[in-house]
């Protein structure tokens, strides 16, 4: 739906403009400069240099814990879904950013938000691996981890809007892509489980 609206320049784009105008007003009236700094650093957490190492560490830990290559395969599938959708989307759609500068040939557009998608898929996959490989017998802790990860990734998207780096629909598309990817991964992807031999030794 969001992609269709962006490609066809549908009426939903007016929501982008209204949200941006409102946010810019809030930013201009914000009496706390530290809030802008927090949003800047938080939005940076969607960079691959921040998100990818977290996924790699979680993958290695899960692989060692389960004595299986399934966590590696799961992470590869998640990464493939990320880069095979976000980058082509940016190139093909070529949407200008909030500042309105045109996207020149060879440049990437702003839709969907790469930082939002990267944060959601990398941190989300990492949390899922940790949850099922280390917290399988602790459902409350697992739910807490998943909830905290979702809140953190939501903050990345909101920070991108606050800093005027992305339109709202850019971020919404990133969230949608994240949800679809993680749903497919947890439903049909390889599901790592703890090695029974490890559990028996621990007893």
Q: What is the pTM of this model?
A: 0.93
The per-residue pLDDT for 1 is 76
**Which pLDDT band holds residue 51 (cuts at 50, 70, 90)?**
very high
Integer Cα distance of 149 and 114 in angstroms:
17
Tally the residues of the chain: 203
Q: Which domain range does residue 51 map to?
A: 2-202
How large a percentage of the chain has pLDDT more than 70? 95
The per-residue pLDDT for 75 is 97
Asked whether residue 199 carries a pLDDT value surpassing 60, the answer given is: no
Asked, as a colleague might, if the bond just before 112 is cis with ω within 30 of 0, I would say yes
**Which pLDDT band holds residue 189 (cuts at 50, 70, 90)?**
confident
**Which pLDDT band holds residue 197 (cuts at 50, 70, 90)?**
very low
Asked whether residue 30 carries a pLDDT value surpassing 60, the answer given is: yes
The per-residue pLDDT for 194 is 63
139 vs 101, which has greater pLDDT? 139
Integer Cα distance of 75 and 56 in angstroms:
8
Tokens at 76, concatenated = 């590869």
For the segment 56-102, what is each residue's pLDDT rounded down to a tens digit?
999 999 999 999 999 999 999 999 999 999 999 999 999 999 998 88
The per-residue pLDDT for 141 is 97
Q: Domain with 195 in it: what CATH number?
A: 1.20.144
Integer Cα distance of 203 and 197 in angstroms:
10
CB 128 within 8 A of CB 120: no
Q: DSSP states of 62-113 as a string?
A: HHHHHTSSHHHHHHHHHHHHHHHHHHHHHHHH----TT-----TT---SSS-
CA atoms within 13 A on the CB side of 69: 3
Average pLDDT, the chain: 93
**Domain count across the chain:** 1
Backbone phi and psi for residue 88, each to the nearest 5 degrees, phi listed first? -60, -40
Integer Cα distance of 9 and 113 in angstroms:
17
**Which pLDDT band holds residue 192 (cuts at 50, 70, 90)?**
confident
């Amino acid at each position: 739906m969001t992609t269709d609206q962006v490609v066809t320049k549908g009426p939903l784009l007016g929501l982008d403009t209204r949200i941006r105008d409102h946010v810019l007003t809030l930013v201009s009236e914000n009496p706390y400069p530290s809030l802008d700094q927090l949003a800047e650093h938080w939005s940076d957490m969607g960079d691959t240099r921040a998100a990818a190492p977290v996924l790699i560490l979680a993958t290695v830990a899960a692989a060692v814990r389960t004595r299986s290559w399934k966590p590696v395969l799961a992470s590869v599938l998640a990464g493939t879904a990320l880069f095979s959708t976000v980058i082509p989307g940016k190139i093909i759609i070529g949407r200008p950013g909030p500042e309105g500068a045109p996207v020149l040939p060879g440049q990437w557009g702003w839709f969907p938000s790469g930082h939002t998608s990267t944060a959601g898929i990398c941190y989300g996959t990492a949390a899922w691996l940790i949850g099922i490989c280390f917290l399988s017998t602790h459902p409350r802790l697992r739910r807490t981890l998943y909830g905290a990860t979702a809140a953190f990734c939501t903050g990345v998207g909101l920070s991108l809007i606050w800093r005027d780096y992305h339109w709202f629909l850019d971020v919404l598309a990133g969230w949608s892509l994240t949800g679809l990817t993680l749903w497919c991964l947890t439903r049909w992807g390889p599901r790592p489980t703890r090695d029974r031999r490890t559990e028996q030794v621990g007893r």
